[in-house]
Structure formats: structure tokens, C-alpha cells
A and B are shown apart, each in its own frame.
Chain A
Amino acid sequence: MSARYRLGVDVGGTFTDIVLADASTGELRTDKVPSDAGQPARAVIAGVTKMLAVSGVEPGQIEYFSHGQTFALNTLLQRTGARVGLLVTRGFPDLLSIGRLRLSDPIDYFTGPRRPLVDPTDVREITERLRADGSLVTPIDPDQVREAVAALVADGVEAVAVAFLHSHRFGHHEAQVADIIAEALPGLPVACSSRLWPEEKEYERATVAVLAAHVGRALGDYLQYLSSELRALGLDCPMHITKSNGGVTSIDSHPREFLRTAVETLLSGPASGVAGTMRVAATAGVDQFITMDMGGTSVDCAIVDGRIPYSTESEIGEFPLIIPSVEVSSIGAGGGSVIRVDETGVLKVGPRSAGAHPGPSCYGRGGTEPTLTDAYVVCGYIDPADFASGAVTIDTDRARTALEPLAVKLGLTVEALAEAAVAVATAMMHSQLIPLCAQHGVDPAGMTLIAYGGAGPVQAALLAAALKMPEVLIPNSPGTLCAYGALATDMRVDLVSPVGGTVTDAELADGWDDLQRRAEQWYAQQDHRLHPDVRITRWADVQLSGQSFTLPITLSEDDISVKALREAFTGAYLKAYAVDPGDADLDVRCLRLTLAASAFLPEPVFAGGRSISGTPHRVVEDGEPVAASIYRRPLLPIGAVMQGPAVIPAPDTSIFVPSGCTARVDQHGNLRITVSLGGSHA
């Protein structure tokens, strides 16, 4: 039998990344092709076709395909999905615009209002009402529902979301409405909040339904097009899509499931980057780290304290997302952030970004404003002769020209100005990461910084030094980590079931058993041939009776009891508040269950190169050009050690090793930089 391969693909804004893994050896091949904003699937097909041709792999040898996309997210951010009508309980027509009341910036007199995805005129109050205990106050009037939906559709609504009070526990009114609509208008997508995510909090749950209704059909059409094209190419293997929880789900499921898939994949891009990092870190023996994915406009960070951080309070643009998602925060500046001198003569970086178009001046794509990337180039932290495998040509003169006026204004050399701008950017990232760490109760000193994305490895060692982080790790293929994450990560589903109040041992056991049945049912429907190893995690949102803030509590399988729950809660409570909750009543708001099935994939074998000879180079440090070396990453052997200052260009990024730092190639091909923590910036 011929060798088997797996494919991971990640569609980004600029490039579509392809990773091909040999299933038996773990050996990786990576490639990038330009993305296609009009039809992202075309770039995927082109990239896969090219990869197969270059590698000499037959489509039939592909046993697994996994795909990360930003199609759903972009559809949402640009609001180009379906026009959604919303059905709500009578008395709550402004559910979406009231939200949770809080203003995005309460001290800005010019803060804009919330802009719901559903136009106020597309909201219909439905005469129906259940109490919190499920008892009936007002039954549904089917005629009113039919009239309301008919009027919405006649007016141009393309999908309907339904969100009634207490449907997370008592979903029958929503189900009844869905049936009425299905009968009257078959084919109209209907997203019920209780089916998609039955968690209490009417605004957030309604938002899940609205997002699904807005994006569902567009994503479904895209995935159907993609999978049929891949089949036409000859791929005959399980096909998967990455989710916001860092796992994957099968593509070939029922069209109705596209509504669910849509909301579950919105934040999948950064999530699969973190998933890929987790795998890299595990093989490198690192388990306390901060990820740093630096792009054109910002740095995406995740704080990993032993395990992937999940948030049930994510935000997508203006919308809350309560479905568990890998917690990634955007901070600081990006490579495209514009450098300026403000009216009081102070050097500033951002907040504006030149973005990908026109981009930094040094790209020569029409940008003339000085950006952080231009500063890197002038400082010599990027090798202009060897950048992004030649996909972008770096023009150092343009970078200098752009920075020159600022240097004149501040009476500095262009080099000193460029280095100062980098220092300001470092301070901005530092000042946002420190509170983020405090939020998580971790201290960055002692953690590793894992950098990827185009600009991350340029900036990483400087940031690590400011944060007193002793080590930076640059993965072997930092530019295709998301695509690698897509093909290497778990199959994963998160489920929630509302509770509300005190519970008995039997209620706990029954509740989790029910969730487990549903999770296993989901798993059975997946194409899980290559994800055989199933793990179940049982957790719950618990608070003290009468309080309004819950803690996530995880229980082990062998002791599902109120007693165990209380013990775990007491521990978590002490950790969070340094106060013993005593024997106050516990209030369990919901039970959660996660099923994760890991894929077996051998660790990639890193062969390494044979040369550690450096070529002379100059970088700017302390305002002056100093002698440095350039080492070509693809040539470096395992165990190679390089002293800073050094610049290490790679096909997908450029790495800067400052003075006092030492870089070493580990056995997996990761570059490990030991950061010098002494020294003054004065």
C-alpha cells in the first residue's frame, strides 16, 4: 500500500496556507498561495492541486482533509449574510439593542449605539410566555406566528431566528414555532436559540441564533462548493472544518447543521493557531506559555497555563459569543501600525494601521506612511534580501524615506528613531499583556513566549525581555501554524445544559449522562476514523446562592457527586477570592460537557541542515548600528547555537535575536531563544 497523507489548509486574508503531512512519518511540507477574496475555495483548490503536484502525491493517497476558514467571520463582520428576522417573546422587542446595557466606552460622550444584526423593523413580538419553572402563562397562537413570518418574508427577510424567554430549559415553544414555519415556508432557514445553545441569558442566547441565521446558508453554500470541488479533484477522505473551540467537525453533515457549524466556527482562525501551538509546545516540553501571533494590525495572544484557555464570554466585533471558544485577546500594535509624532512632540505607534493595503512603505505597494515594519527594516531586524521567500520585495530606501521626517522632527538619526518606535511598540504590548496576565492570575516571568505569524518572531525577544520572560520559542514553521493546527488537532464538541439551583447527586449524574449521550451521538455522526481516542470532560458553572458570578468547576469521572462538586468549588473559590465559601448553598447554573477525540499523528521528524556559518550584517541597538550575523534558518542543524545580535530569515518569517540573547535549534527544529533579563534601557 502506498503512503498515506493528511492535508491541513488555512485561509487567511493574504495567503492560503497548505500543510501536507506524511501519516506514517509525520514529515511536513508547507506552501502558501495567494488568497482569493471573491471565492476563497478557489485558492484552496489551487493550493491543494499545486501541493499534490509538487509532492507527487495522488489524491487517493490523502486520508484526511481539514480546513480553517474566515469566510463565516468575514460574512458577519461585513454583514453580507442573510437578512434575518427575529421572533421574540412579547414585551421584549429591543432585546438585541438593549443587550446587557453596558457601553463600549462609558467615558466617551461620542460612543456609538449598539448596532444589532437585525433591523428593528425585522423584529416581531410573539404572543407566548413561559415562566422560569416552565409553567404556561400564554400559549402560542399559530396564526400570529404564520402572519408574522409571512410578513417578514414578504418584506425580504431571508432567515429567521427564534429566541423566547426560558427556552434554554423549556424549548417546546421555540420548537413549535420552528414546526409552524417549516410547514408554511419549507426551506426558510430557522435558527432556534434553544437548539443551538441552551444556556440562560436571553440576549447572549438570542445572539447565537441570530449569528447562525445570518451566516448559516452562506457558509453552507461555500462548504458544499468546496467539498464538491475537492471530490472532483479526486479526494475521497473525511473532510473537516476547524471550530472556535480549537477542534474540528465533519463537513459532510446535514445542511441543517450548517446553522450550528456557522456559529461554532466564527473564531476558528486564532483558535487553530493556538491548537497548533499546543502541539508544538507539548513536543518541546513547554506547558506554561503565552502565544504571540503578530499580523498587520495587532497581536493575538493566548495565555496557556497548562491547558488551552477557553472563554464563554468572547466577543466578535460588537457581538458576544457564549459558546466556549479558545480565549485569544488582541493587543498592541501590528506590523502595519503607523508611526507618528503627535502635536506635543511625543513619539506614537498606532492606533491607525496601514493594514495589508497599501501596507508598509518598504513593501513598495503604494504605502508612504512609516510603519512598524519599516522600523524593523531600518533597524536591520528583517533581512531585506531574504523576506517571505521573495513573495514581497523589501525596499530599505523607502522605509528610510518614510521615517526620515519623524527623525528630523525629534532630532534623531533615522536608525535611532526606528529603534525608538520599536521600543514604544514593545511598551504598548507590554502594557496590555501585564493586565491580561493579572486577569488570569499568572505571572509572565517564568513563562515561555511562543511567537508566530509574519511579524511575531521579529518582535518576540524584545517583548519577552520587557516582560521578564526567560525564553522565546519560534516553531519550525511559524507561518503555517494554523494550517498545521487544523490537521493535527482534536475532534471536539462542547455541550451545555441549563440547571438553575441546588442539585442532587442523581440530578448531576443524569444531567451529565444526558450530555454524554448527546456528545457520543454527535461523535457517531462524525467521520471519526482517524480520531479514535475519546476523552470526556464534565464541568459546570457554579456560584454561591444569591451571587451573580460563576466559577467553572471540573469534576473527575470517578466521583460525580454534590460532595465532590462542593470540594472542587471550595478549592476554586479559595483560589479566586482567598475566602472560604463555608457551607453556603451552591447554585449550579449549567452543566457542561466536552468530548475531545485526538488524532494519531506522528511527531514530525526534523532533519535539519548542515551550516551554522553566519554572514555579516548590521542591526541597530542603543541607537547605533552594531555588527551582527545573518543565519539562514533552513540551513541550520539541530543543536546549532547562535549569539545575538543575529537575524535569522526563514521562508515564512524573520527572527531577531538581540544582544545578550542566545538562540539554539532544538531537535524538533524549533528555535529556542534564551532571553537576557539583565540590562538597562536607559
Chain B
Amino acid sequence: MRSSPVVLEILAHRFAAVVEEMAENIRRTSFSIFVKQTADFGTCLVTPDGEVFAAPRRISGNLMIGVPAKAVIESLAPYAPGDIGLSNDPDATGGLVTHLPDLWAWQPLFIDGEIIAYALSFVHSSDIGGSVPSSIDWGHTDMHQEGLLIPPVRMLTAGERNQAVFDLVARNSRVPSQNLGDLEAQVAGLRTAQRRLSEIAESYGKSAVEDAIADLIDTASFKASALLDTLTPGSYEFVDYVEGIERLEADGSRVTEVPPTRLALRLTVGEGRAHLDFDGTSPQVLEAINLHTGGEPGHYMLAFALVNWFYSQDQQIPYNSGLVRPLTANLPAGSILNPRPGAPCGVRAAVFFRIMDCVVGCLAQASDRAMAPGAGLVAIASIAHVDLASGERKVSVGQPLTGGSGGRPGQPGISGTSYMGGWLRNVPNEVLESDVPVLVEEYKYRRGSGGSGSQPGGDGLVVQIRSLEDDVTFVVRGLERLFYQPFGVAGGGPGAPGIATLNPGTPGERNLGRVGSITLKAGDVLRVETPGGGGLGSGAGGFDFGEARESYDRRFPQPLQNQLVHAVLGQVPSARQAAVYRALYLRIDRAAGDGVVTQAVLDEALEAAGLDAARVSGEMPVADPAPDKAHPPGETRGEAAKVEAPGRTGTAPSIGGTA
């Protein structure tokens, strides 16, 4: 360690003060409802190499550990003091930006004429243009539908405003003054960072600051490795899905319209490291759920579950990107976790949440203190109607629809919310009813929905709302786990799946699936029941996925799903992968009919598409998963996904615990 054990602790507190002050300044002065209600903003300090060394713990949505900052730092180099960069471009920022409403800003922090760190911040702005208000829609098929793209630009040059940048952003938003307010808030926050870091360097000296930065990251890395070493060394596999869409035919049969999106993780732990191999994960998809990671192995949206796991066991652990240093990853190019430039991405949270569950599923196999997953969704309902008196369209503030958390060692799951949306606040029902013409008939726990077990999962919520007028539109985004239940762990039972029902208990009762948008007449009732958390059993028994998932696994065996993914990613030109994958899947699904997908069915479909079925197995380029051969951090970080190791002949991933 370079620092004195005293100065290190002092500077750790001082750095924390800088990022928290930035965050409080943004929270106080920003306009965005996402900041005020859902804390969807963030601040951090990073090293010149782009590693986060300080981030707030309790203020914002806490998605800062593993933020890849190197690309934006390089994008505008060289810098002058007072430069502030701006971008919302996922492709140009190497995975820093994951969807367009997040406006990221950064500033070099100079001490004695030399850059010793960068301050970063982002705000989820209310609207950045594009085809729909708020800029986010599942149905977007092209990033250009999602709004204005801002490649890295200077919004301030040496402290001087580039007014054209502000004007350009404002002109391309439906809420220009809000966006300007959000940008100003970030500028103010970043300037604070420079002032405070200068004060710190004045008191303690530049070299002490640099030493402390390095030591804090090293300490986090060291402690994270030690925690990884508490896991049983080995490889653990888990597959989960973002649900697809099925159409119910008149004869009662179901026809797949959108395939489920397969997320496959093989987590290998040992020797203080963890390798996240996403081989077998779906090619990028046509819907706007692609997750731009820039191929970064410690990307914040991949590492979140592990970072929280570290923090949960040691709340004193330095909260910085040292926590992701022990991580390497294989993120197959063209997969939904490392998509091509231009892949639509507004609702990438759906994939992010499911990856958390994949990690929880792997940890459950590797740890003797297993935990069950939560309900796995963060849905938001907002209600719009036309005010009869004024003729104006009014939209209520979004009501979060979250489900229970999973059972934990020594504790049952929490009801009504989980770690995925744990920072969300609900809207008081009194406020909702005075804003829009509805009557909330029930708002309570969904009793019995948590998975069974010695530590049962938390219950979901029941929200039942009656419309009091015609033409009241509900927009519900983010409902998930409507088929595939939050799984039970170690003998625990699965949480109940979610369900949204129109006019329950009447002849017109109808299952609304994901809902999306639905317009109600006076007297219509919408009932949403969110999933319960998975149950944690007493140790005997593996995972319990529930009937829907188990029958899907029987219908389309995992090894065949894996072959399909490999065939598309390995043989189809990258620009066509999403469409070909979709078409192939639907063809296979139809061909299987009431039966199951067999090797013959798969091969026939692949051949018809001009793909070579024989080439599929074992030929998929993957990175070497062995941790001992992983490259040391600093050298190849960000490149792991591009490394093509020699073909590995191994068993196809199967579902952990049932294998």
C-alpha cells in the first residue's frame, strides 16, 4: 500500500463527499422527474484510465460501479481545464451510455496542470426526442427512432459554454427547458468536483491523492477477491429468459410471435476471480432491449448483482471499480449483450434485470449461503386521460409495480419490492385519485404469492383500479415473469407469476399479457398482480422453476437452443442476425407444433436457411473461461469479448441445478 493507513481513510471520506455533493447538487437543481421520483441519475470520479474510484452509496440509483469511462475520456482528448463533455451515444461511448435518455457529462480534474481524475455524471432526461414521448418504446427497431444521438462533444470549452450544443439538445426534445435544467445541474455538479478536488490536493498534496486513489481501488479489488474465494471453486451455469409474446388463437392454441430472449451464463469462480461467460446468449433482437456493454467485462449492468453481493457482505468495502477488477467476461459479439452499432436499446433494463437473476442462480450453486431471486421486474404504470373541463390531456405520475424479493439466508424475502427497484417510491393512492379519474379498489400484498420454503419469498402486490370515465388510458411498461416464475432455490418453491386482468370476475374478463397500453371505459377494472419472490429451501433439492419454464425446457431442450444461437452468431452476416434468428425460431416453433423440438427439426430449419447444422456444435468462438489464464486487469480490459480462443469442445450449457 502506497498511502498511510490514516490519510487513506481520510481521503476515502473526502472523495465520498465530492461525489455525494455532486449528487445532491444534481438532485436539488435537476428538473427531471426521473431524478426526483426514481433517483435515476448518478455521479462518480474515475481515474485517467477510466476506473471508478468514488461513487455515492445511498443517494442515487447506484449503478456506477463498473462504469466504462475510457472511451469518452479518449474521445475528446486532449483536454483543457474547464472542458465538459456530453454524450448519449451508446456506440461512441463504449458502453458508458446504455440508452439515449441518459445524458452523460464529464470533466477532467486538473491538479497543478495535470489531469489526475475525471468527474462523470448522468441524468435520465424526461425526453430526448424520437418517435414517442419520453423516447422509450419496446417496439423501436432502430436506434434513430429513439431520439437525438449526441456523439461526444464539448458543451463547455475551457469553461466557456458552447451555446449551440445546448440549443441543439433543447430543440430536439419535447421538454426543452427540462433538458436544459438537467444539463445546467450537471455542469454545476462537475464544477463542484473540480473545486473540491483542488481543496483536497491543497491540503494533502497531489501525490497523496494519487496514492489514495490507487490504494482504494486495490483494496476494493483485494476484498472482492477474498469474497469470491468464499465461493466453492468451479463453473456454474444458468439460463433465464426475457419473456416473448404469444398470441392466443381462437382454438385455444398459443402461437409465438416474439421468441423468449435467451440469456445464458456460465460463472466460473476460483483463485479470487470470476469469469462471466455469456456464450449461448441470444443474438441481438429486433426489439429495443439490446444492452450495449461495449464488450466491457466489468460493465455496470453485468456486474451489478455481484457488486451488491460484495457490498451486502461487507458494507465497509470501498465502493469503487476495484470490485469489478477480478471479473472477466465473454460477451459474444452480436449477442444481445454486445450488439452491433445502432441496435435499439431503450428498454435494456429488461435484460439487465434478468442477468441479475442469472448471477443469483449461479451464486446459489456456488455459495453455501444461497439466496433466491426476487420478482424480477420493475414495471411502471401511468394513467392518462383528457380532462373534460379543460380539454387537456393529463398524465399521472408513474406508479411502480414491483414484486417480492427472494428468501435470504436467515430471513424471508421482503414483500412488495426487491433490490431491482428498491429505490422506487410509490405514489400515494390519494394523490393518484385526485390526479386522474380512477378509484383504487385494492392496493395490498398479494398473499401467498411468494415461493414456499424455510425462508419464503416475499409476496407481490395487488393493484386493482376502476376507471371512473371513458377513455382513461393505462400505460404499463416492464411487466415480466408472467410465464416463467421467479425460481425457488435449494428446495424452495417458485414465486407466483404476475398477471394483468381486465374486468376480473366478469364475463368480459381478459388476460392482458404485458398490457402495454390499454384504454378503459367508465366502470372497467384493471387488476395487476405482481410476482412473488422465489422461496429459499432448507438445502435439499435444487431449483424449482415452475411448470411453464419446465415444460418449455422439455419442448425446446437447452442443447438445441444453444445450437440455434451458435448457428446464427457463427454463420449469419452480423447485420442479418436478429432477423434470421427470429425467423428461424418461429419456423422451428411452428414445426414442433404440439410436440417438441428435436435435432431433426432444428437441422431442417437451419438447412432451409442455408446454415450448416454440422458446423454448429463446439465451433463457436469463445473466450477462454479459465480464470488462471485470464489476462491481468489493465492490459486487456474491454477486449475480453473480442479474444477468440481456439474452439472449445464442451458440454452445452444446461440449466444449473436440474442438470
**Which of A's residues lie within 8 Å of B, judged by CB?**
91-94, 97-98, 100-103, 105-113, 129, 131-132, 137, 165-166, 168, 200-204, 341-342, 344-348, 410, 420, 423-424, 427-428, 430-432, 434-439, 441, 468, 500-501, 546-549, 576-580, 680-682
Contacts and interface: CB of A to CB of B under 8 A. Distances in A.
A430 to B, nearest CB: 6
Given A166-B430, A201-B430, A578-B29, A91 B6 contact: no
B506 interface: no
Interface centre among B27, B29, B208, B371 (most CB of A within 10 A): B29
Interface of B: 1, 5-6, 8-11, 13-14, 16-17, 20-21, 23-25, 27-31, 33, 36-37, 57-59, 62, 177-178, 180-181, 184-185, 192, 196, 199, 202-205, 208, 219, 222-223, 307-309, 311-312, 315-316, 371, 394-395, 397, 400, 402, 408, 411, 414-417, 419, 422-431, 433-435, 439-445, 458, 461, 464, 468
B21 A420 contact: no
B211 to A, nearest CB: 12
B33 A548 contact: yes
A100 B430 CA distance: 13
Contacts of B400: 101
B360 to A, nearest CB: 9
Contacts of A92: 429, 442-444
A345 B5 contact: yes
A305 to B, nearest CB: 14
A427 B439 contact: no
Interface centre among B184, B311, B414, B428 (most CB of A within 10 A): B428
A577 B425 CA distance: 22
B423 A548 contact: no
Nearest to A421: B6
A435 B21 contact: yes
Contacts of A468: 199
Contacts of B10: 423-424, 427, 681
Contacts of B177: 579-580
Contacts of A165: 429-430, 433
B416 A101 contact: yes
Nearest to A106: B422
Contacts of A94: 415-416, 443-445
B406 to A, nearest CB: 9
Contacts of B11: 427
A113 B405 CA distance: 10
B430 A438 contact: no
B261 to A, nearest CB: 25
Contact of A111 (B222, B414, B433): B414
30 contacts: A94-B444, A98-B415, A98-B461, A101-B400, A102-B422, A102-B424, A103-B419, A107-B311, A108-B315, A109-B419, A110-B312, A112-B411, A132-B430, A132-B433, A166-B430, A166-B433, A200-B431, A203-B428, A427-B9, A430-B17, A434-B17, A434-B21, A435-B23, A438-B20, A438-B25, A438-B28, A548-B36, A549-B37, A681-B10, A682-B208
A101 B424 contact: yes
A319 to B, nearest CB: 16
Contacts of B394: 546
Contacts of A102: 417, 422-425
A503 B30 CA distance: 27
A501 B202 CA distance: 52
A101 B203 contact: no
B430 A101 contact: no
A437 B196 CA distance: 14
Given A106-B62, A680-B204, 16 more contacts: A91-B440, A94-B415, A98-B415, A98-B426, A98-B443, A106-B419, A110-B312, A112-B411, A201-B431, A347-B6, A424-B10, A430-B14, A430-B17, A434-B17, A576-B28, A680-B202
A577 B29 contact: yes
Interface centre among B10, B37, B400 (most CB of A within 10 A): B10
Contacts of B21: 434-435, 437-438
Contacts of A204: 428
A433 B9 CA distance: 17
Given A94-B444, A131-B433, A439 B24 contact: yes
A113 B412 CA distance: 9
A468 B397 CA distance: 41
Nearest to B444: A94
Contacts of B185: 578
- The 4 A-B pairs with the shortest beta carbon distances in the complex, nearest first, are A106-B422, A438-B24, A431-B17, A103-B422
A431 B16 contact: yes
A501 B431 CA distance: 11
Given A109-B408, A424-B9, A427-B9, A103 B203 contact: no
B426 to A, nearest CB: 5
Given A101-B424, A682-B203, A202 B429 contact: yes
A346 B8 contact: yes
Given A168-B430, A548-B427, A110 B316 contact: no
Interface centre among B5, B23, B394, B458 (most CB of A within 10 A): B5
A577 to B, nearest CB: 5
Contacts of A546: 394-395, 435
Contacts of B468: 131
Nearest to A348: B9
A439 B22 CA distance: 10
Given A165-B429, A435-B17, A341 B5 contact: yes
Contacts of B196: 434
B36 A549 contact: yes
Contacts of B441: 91
B495 to A, nearest CB: 16
B215 to A, nearest CB: 9
A347 B204 contact: no
Nearest to A437: B21
B444 A578 contact: no
Nearest to A345: B5
A366 B6 CA distance: 28
B428 A346 contact: no
Given A132-B434, A548-B37, A577-B29, A431 B13 contact: yes
A264 B21 CA distance: 32
Contacts of A111: 414, 419, 422
A346 B9 contact: yes
Contacts of A166: 430, 433
Nearest to B26: A438
A549 B416 CA distance: 24
A563 B259 CA distance: 57
A430 B17 CA distance: 8
A37 B442 CA distance: 44
Nearest to B420: A106
B439 A131 contact: yes
A331 B20 CA distance: 14
A346 B6 CA distance: 7
B363 to A, nearest CB: 10
Nearest to B219: A344
Contacts of A500: 434
A92 B461 CA distance: 11
Given A344-B222, A347-B6, A546-B394, A100 B426 contact: yes
A101 B415 contact: no
Contacts of A203: 428
B13 A101 contact: no
Contacts of A439: 24, 27-28
Contacts of B192: 438
Contact of A344 (B184, B223, B464): B223
A468 B203 CA distance: 12
